[in-house]
A and B are shown apart, each in its own frame.
Chain A
Amino acid sequence: MAKKKFVVGCFDEEAVLFPAVKKVRTAGYKIHDVYTPFAVHGLDHALGLRETSLHTAGFIYGITGTSTALGSISWILVKDWPLNFGGKPNFSLPAWIPITFELTVLFAAVGMVLTFCYLCQLAPFVKKHHFHPRATDDLFVMVIECTEKTNVDDLQAFLSSAGAIETDVQVAEEGWWLGTYDKEETTFENSNPVVA
């Protein structure tokens, strides 16, 4: 994958981050992403991201489960191997509700999780570039993609004026790869394990 140049600004307050996102977007910069340690509600709207359709996918998986259950049970008990249970009808829908329900839930849940992993490109052994190790700890890391017209120094100064506590320029691959993290990404200032 092609490498790109990014300007990184780190914020330590949501209250500063939101106006900063607005300023950066108004100034015409393209925000590649904002990495946060927890789900910051409203940040997706502030970045202009569209709503996710994951729940719609979940619904489709769910009705797939429903029809799989009803379809196979009715075929098995009515067509393939009809059994006489005390003269009761072979098509005994009420008794099939529990399994139908369970399969609906199972299909929806498994399907949604797999779709989630696919959309976010998450899997074991997948590696991605981390713009800041504290993005999963306590920093909100705004990453802006540079074009050939971008003046990196200006942008860094602009981010600092918007409240970034730290700015940085990085050349990185977007997307994911299989392999190991770069050496400089392995360290974190926490080398003194204490006995609990």
Chain B
Amino acid sequence: MHLKYESQLREPLVMGNKDFHQVTEDIVRPIEAKPSKLWYIGFYIAVALLLFGIYSIYRDVTYGIGQWNLNKTIGWGWDITNFVWWVGIGHAGTLISAILLLFRQGWRTGVNRAAEAMTIFAVMCAGQFPIWHMGRVWMAFFVLPYPNTRGPLWVNFNSPLLWDVFAISTYFTVSLLFWYSGLIPDLATVRDRAFTKLRKKLYGIASFGWTGSTKHWQRHESLSLVLAGLSTPLVLSVHTIVSFDFATSVVPGWHTTIFPPYFVAGAIFSGFAMVQSLMVIIRKVFNMEEYITLGHIEAMNKIIVLTGSIVGIAYLTELFMGWYSQNKYEGYTFWYSRAYLFSPYGWSYWGMMACNVLSPQIFWFRKMRRNVFVTFFMSVIVNIGMWFERFVIIVTSLYRDYLPSSWSVYYSPTIWEIGFYLGTFGLFFTCFFLFAKYFPVIAVAEIKYVLKTSGEGFKNKMDKIEEQPLDTFIHDNAHAH
């Protein structure tokens, strides 16, 4: 049994003087209560967006990809921009739950469950784009390697696009398993407080008959630790592989070795921004300010300013290499198509620079990091900036290629391309609203685990321990062995 002591200097992770039962009450109450009006309004807007998205996809499938404004030169446009954007957002959840678990960051407990859910929904949205971009979507299973009657004709295992199929599907599966295995004990908590037979039954099914046996907890801990260890390189690999989709090509602007770390940093950057947007809303709507504290928000803002600056260095490195390589095509892409403000897409490059590199620098100030409004505003700005980044990478590299005769006309999306994108917002928020209504948005058992070391009520008593001589401290705490 580890020592129940944590320095007074560390900020409490759970505010207020709470006991275990109070934690259960606070977190489970929103699930048991009727949802507020705001929830219904938000949910209906999300469903409306989803329906519009479904109609856009219906048009895409019925009339073909011609419904979109993709053309000969710009074969990837909004669709792949949105794909990379959503996958990037989907990186924060597993990062919080896996990497921060391995780094023993206690604050992850307040936000990990909702962040993991967000990850799963974001990856679901991301997966839509390559699938519907296939056009003849009923052939989608051709990307799977299975013995077939066409030769058998196999998929190309040397292709980054196939690596992506494996990476995204593995990432989705592992994130889902990680999330759900963590949810089982919390669903059992909800089941054991159920006040109607139906709730008892449904949460009974969902919680797999969990009892809280010591042996089960021991295995559960081992499972979480190993899944965290597996997910850590997995998270890094997924966006690395997404960046390979571009980096292994010979298109100027894509063919760079800096892409994997640059994409991973960008993914963490946008993912944390999305977590911030959702957390700021959740803590307000569900009265969870005592669990998702300003300390949590500050910690995530620190990561945002760090990764934003890494991304900024990557942008500058690219510009430098565009000049230093003395390659005419690279120079044209980086210094004309992107960095020259008055080139056709110069606005997107400078929008990206302003949103991703300049504005997050505000988080060097503690006051700003701990300001909820600034945080929410910045989280939206960062996600807009990261959308610009993907648009810049894809469109400014493609719209003018080696032959001026095949330079494209100005690309702007059709309503159905935009509708598809809005539809994924609908999917994302529909799922998230349902999650927030029917599942505990904070990991109940994990909060209880850190409560006695990091809860405000318990921390206040620790100054007595700090005054104790070492011998007494060891004596008092060693009996458990």
Residues of chain A at the chain B interface (Cβ within 8 Å): 14-15, 18-19, 33-44, 46-47, 49, 51-52, 54-55, 58, 62, 72-73, 76-77, 80-81, 83, 85, 92, 95-96, 98-99, 101-103, 105-106, 108-110, 112-113, 116-117, 119-128, 130, 133-138, 141, 176, 180-181, 186-188, 190-191, 193-196
Task: Please determine whether B157 and A76 come into contact, CB atoms closer than 8 angstroms.
Answer: yes
Tell me the smallest distance from the CB of A17 to a CB of chain B, in Å: 9
Task: Please determine whether B211 and A128 come into contact, CB atoms closer than 8 angstroms.
Answer: yes
- Which chain B residue lies CB-closest to A31? B214
Tell me the smallest distance from the CB of A94 to a CB of chain B, in Å: 9
| Residue B412, interface by CB 8 Å | no
Residues on the B chain within 8 Å of A123, using CB: 208-209
Contacts A/B (CB < 8 Å), 21 sampled = A37-B189, A37-B445, A39-B220, A46-B480, A105-B174, A109-B230, A113-B181, A113-B223, A122-B216, A124-B205, A124-B206, A126-B208, A127-B204, A133-B193, A136-B188, A136-B211, A137-B21, A138-B21, A191-B195, A195-B34, A195-B36
Binding site of B, secondary structure by majority: helix, strand, loop or mixed?
helix
Tell me the smallest distance from the CB of A84 to a CB of chain B, in Å: 12
Task: Please determine whether A73 and B157 come into contact, CB atoms closer than 8 angstroms.
Answer: yes
| Complex: A134 Cα to B24 Cα, angstroms | 10
Task: Please determine whether A130 and B211 come into contact, CB atoms closer than 8 angstroms.
Answer: yes
| Complex: A117 Cα to B273 Cα, angstroms | 35
| Complex: A18 Cα to B156 Cα, angstroms | 58
Residues on the A chain within 8 Å of B448, using CB: 37-38
| Complex: A51 Cα to B220 Cα, angstroms | 12
Tell me the smallest distance from the CB of A143 to a CB of chain B, in Å: 9
Q: Which 3 A-B pairs have the closest CB atoms?
A: A42-B1, A138-B20, A126-B209
Task: Please determine whether A196 and B33 come into contact, CB atoms closer than 8 angstroms.
Answer: yes
Task: Please determine whether A103 and B170 come into contact, CB atoms closer than 8 angstroms.
Answer: yes
- Which chain A residue lies CB-closest to B1? A42
Partner of B151, one of A44, A81, A96, A105: A81
| Residue B145, interface by CB 8 Å | yes
Residues on the A chain within 8 Å of B195, using CB: 187-188, 190-191, 193
**Chain B 208-237: CB-based contact to A (< 8 A → 1; otherwise 0):** 111111111111111101110011011001
Partner of B173, one of A46, A109, A126: A109
Residues on the B chain within 8 Å of A96, using CB: 157-158
| Complex: A29 Cα to B231 Cα, angstroms | 42
Task: Please determine whether B152 and A80 come into contact, CB atoms closer than 8 angstroms.
Answer: yes
Residues on the B chain within 8 Å of A19, using CB: 479-480
Residues on the A chain within 8 Å of B449, using CB: 38-39
Q: Which of B171-210 contact A (CB under 8 A)?
A: 173-174, 177-178, 181, 184-185, 188-189, 191-195, 197, 200-201, 204-206, 208-210
Residues on the A chain within 8 Å of B209, using CB: 121-123, 126-128, 176
Residues on the B chain within 8 Å of A120, using CB: 213, 215-216, 219-220
Tell me the smallest distance from the CB of B203 to a CB of chain A, in Å: 11
Task: Please determine whether B162 and A99 come into contact, CB atoms closer than 8 angstroms.
Answer: yes
Q: A103-B170, A121-B209 are in contact. List 7 more A-B contacts (CB 8 A).
A: A33-B213, A34-B214, A44-B217, A80-B152, A110-B177, A188-B194, A196-B34
Residues of chain B at the chain A interface (Cβ within 8 Å): 1-2, 19-21, 24, 29-30, 32-36, 145, 151-154, 156-158, 160, 162-163, 166-167, 170, 173-174, 177-178, 181, 184-185, 188-189, 191-195, 197, 200-201, 204-206, 208-223, 225-227, 230-231, 233-234, 237, 241, 244, 285-287, 445-446, 448-449, 452, 479-481
| Complex: A68 Cα to B192 Cα, angstroms | 42
| Complex: A77 Cα to B155 Cα, angstroms | 10
Residues on the A chain within 8 Å of B233, using CB: 101, 105
Task: Please determine whether A106 and B35 come into contact, CB atoms closer than 8 angstroms.
Answer: no
* A55-B222, A181-B200, A193-B195 as given contacts; A40 in contact with B234, CB under 8 Å: no
Task: Please determine whether B205 and A125 come into contact, CB atoms closer than 8 angstroms.
Answer: yes
- Which chain A residue lies CB-closest to B34? A195
Residues on the B chain within 8 Å of A106, using CB: 170, 173-174
Task: Please determine whether B158 and A92 come into contact, CB atoms closer than 8 angstroms.
Answer: yes
* A44-B214, A122-B209, A136-B189 as given contacts; A81 in contact with B166, CB under 8 Å: no
Task: Please determine whether B152 and A81 come into contact, CB atoms closer than 8 angstroms.
Answer: yes
| Complex: A83 Cα to B252 Cα, angstroms | 28
Task: Please determine whether A99 and B189 come into contact, CB atoms closer than 8 angstroms.
Answer: no
Residues on the A chain within 8 Å of B452, using CB: 14
Task: Please determine whether A194 and B33 come into contact, CB atoms closer than 8 angstroms.
Answer: yes
- Which chain A residue lies CB-closest to B212? A35
Tell me the smallest distance from the CB of B236 to a CB of chain A, in Å: 10
Task: Please determine whether A38 and B211 come into contact, CB atoms closer than 8 angstroms.
Answer: no
Residues on the A chain within 8 Å of B244, using CB: 98
Residues on the A chain within 8 Å of B227, using CB: 109, 112-113
| Complex: A41 Cα to B1 Cα, angstroms | 5
Residues on the B chain within 8 Å of A128, using CB: 209, 211
| Complex: A37 Cα to B286 Cα, angstroms | 23
